Structure 1
Amino acid sequence: MTKLPFKVVAVDMDGTFMHDDQTFDHKRFDRILTELHKKGIHFIVSSGRPYTRLRKDFAGFLNRIDMIADNGSLLLQDNQIISTHLLTYKTTLDLISFIKEHYSKSSIIVTGINNSYTTINASPSFKQTMNFYYPDRIEVTDLAAAINPQDMITKITLSYQYDFSAELEKEFNQTHAEKIHCTSSGFGLLDIVPYSVNKGIALKYFLRYFGAKPNELIAFGDGMNDAEMLKLAGYSYAMANAEDQVKKIAKYEAPSNNDDGVLEVLDSYLAKVEK
């Protein structure tokens, strides 16, 4: 192999790039990222995580990677937000009311660029999880009363016992002019974003910017919120620990997240390139 068959790398975080203990091999990643950059390859973190969490995860690498946060609602380059896709204030209020009426057992976090909110009565396990992703979240008694248009809402996340994302999306969109998109991010969490938002759409933006084609993209994922990204990529990898549906979408399989599957695959490609 004289050169790498891809120009852009896109990786999901939870269950894909990160170990279950929320760590990754910084030294190995630094080496691989350096080798990729020498060959003109762009590296994109494509995650449902908020950008504030991603900035902490990749401290020390921020000027060497690009980021897709909140499942495509925010795009960042050189550690700066370059594109936003937001839920309108009215639709955010409508969604909160709709969720309370139809999915009252779900705990909720409303994510904004400026503030994120959960309710005081959210389940303890949900709060514990959100403490990691949103350490600066605000606990309130009434979500609808707490948020304001200046919060610039990127997504709403719910807890679930079963994946009702398709059901919620269909029911809400039937009765509301502004459409939304729902997707399971795995781990008992469901994300609601603007209708046209997903990781695949976000990656198309970056591909155009980099002058690359979808068949020059290698992508890694494990959950259904990675589906559009994997369908787009010429080289799509589902992790060994991925959901069965995801494995059916991807062309190839990578070792599990806990076995550094992403880094293993990238290293294998780099080893085949002529020095």
Structure 2
Amino acid sequence: MSKLPFKVIAVDMDGTFMRDNQTFDHKRFDRILDQIHENKAHFIVSSGRPYSRLRKDFTGFLDRIDMIADNGSLLIQDDNIISTHLLTHKTTMELLEFIQIHYPESSVIVTGINSSYTTMDASPAFKQTMNFYYPDRVEVPDLMTAVSPHDQITKLTLSYQHDFSEELEREFNTHHAEKIHCTSSGFGLLDIVPYSVNKGNALKYFLRYFDAKPSELIAFGDGMNDKEMLELAGYSYAMENA
């Protein structure tokens, strides 16, 4: 195999790396990883999926890849969390109240490092989707009483009929001290993470760690939550379905 022109490969999951049936060719990926490592390059899964889901997705590969979970809230190397960007309990409560007032039709999941919460009255379609993406999901009567100050909250995810991510971010940040960032993760879902958290900034951390430049990064994605990652990379490819 000829020498690669890049040192770091970053790949989105849904609509990019995964097939439509949520699988990938494990044998082929194993061979590709061998070639990547022979070239002293690094493979990074860069996803809005939570860490708990990614661990299941890449069982057998966890010591050979790095991961960005929850759109940049968690950075993982060798199956160990090396960096976290969390929403404070105060801001989580303020967000839940804000959503109840302004977007009462939305179903919500609150994602933590160790557990995720949805309400019992969330829509059946939302619950069905969350059952796959959040294997640690717990149904509770009320999110504001269920989420503890000890929970390490990485993001909130909302369902929507139309994308109101820019509106929510602008209105919430105008009236609250701790700022947040909203992005559409596709499939009628919107993610809320701490301000300045995105896949691009997460990749900057890994680039520094690997002593690599953005010009030595190749990235693949298909959604708005891939925007900063694709803009950062020296080689960037948007999927045909983007």
TM-score bracket, normalised by the shorter chain, equals over 0.9
The alignment covers a number of residue pairs equal to 242
Q: 1:269 is matched with which residue? A: none
Q: Report the equivalent of 2:190.
A: 190
- Which residue number corresponds to residue 169 of structure 2? 169
Match of 1:270 in 2: none
- Work out the CA distance in 1 between the residues paired with 2:149 and 2:9: 35
Unaligned runs of 5+ in 1: 243-275
**What do residues 44-91 of structure 1 show as CA deviations (whole Å, max 9, x unaligned)?**
000000001000000000000000000000000000000000000000
The whole-number CA distance in structure 2 between the counterparts of 1:36 and 1:136 is 32
Name the counterpart of 1:62: 62
Instruction: Please give the secondary structure, in 2, of the residue aligned with 1:54.
Output: helix
Q: Which residue of 2 aligns with 1:120?
A: 120
2: CA distance between counterparts of 1:210 and 1:127? 39
One-letter amino acid matched to 2:77? Q
Deviations 1:246-271 (A, max 9, x none): xxxxxxxxxxxxxxxxxxxxxxxxxx
Task: Give yes or no for contact 1:163–1:190 (8 Å, CA) kept in 2.
Answer: yes
Question: What SS is found at the alignment partner of 1:236?
Answer: strand
Q: TM-score, normalised by structure 1?
A: 0.87
1:97 aligned residue: 97
Aligned-residue CA RMSD (Å): 0.9
Q: Distance in 2 between matches of 1:147 and 1:82?
A: 24
Partner of 2:135: 135
**Following TM superposition, by how much is the alpha carbon of 1:2 offset from its aligned partner in structure 2, in angstroms?**
5.1
Q: Secondary structure at the match of 1:93?
A: helix
Instruction: Tell whether the 8 Å contact from 2:5 to 2:216 is kept in structure 1 after alignment.
Output: yes
Aligned partners of 2:52 and 2:135 also within 8 Å: no
| Alignment match, 1:218 | 218
Deviations 1:185-237 (A, max 9, x none): 00000000000100000000000000000000000000000000000000000
Look up the match of 2:12.
12
Which residue in the other structure is 2:207 paired with? Answer: 207
Q: Give 4+ residue runs of structure 1 displaced > 3 Å after superposition.
A: none
Matched residue of 1:95: which SS? Answer: helix
Q: Percent identity?
A: 79
Deviation by residue 1:131-183 (Cα, 9 ceiling, x = unmatched): 00112211111100000121110000000011100000000000000000000
In structure 2, the gaps of 5 or more residues are none
One-letter code aligned to 1:60: G
One-letter amino acid of the counterpart of residue 133, structure 2: Y
Which amino acid in structure 2 is aligned with residue 138 of structure 1? V
CA contact 1:157–1:192 (8 Å) conserved in 2: yes
Separation in 2 of the partners of 1:2 and 1:202? 29
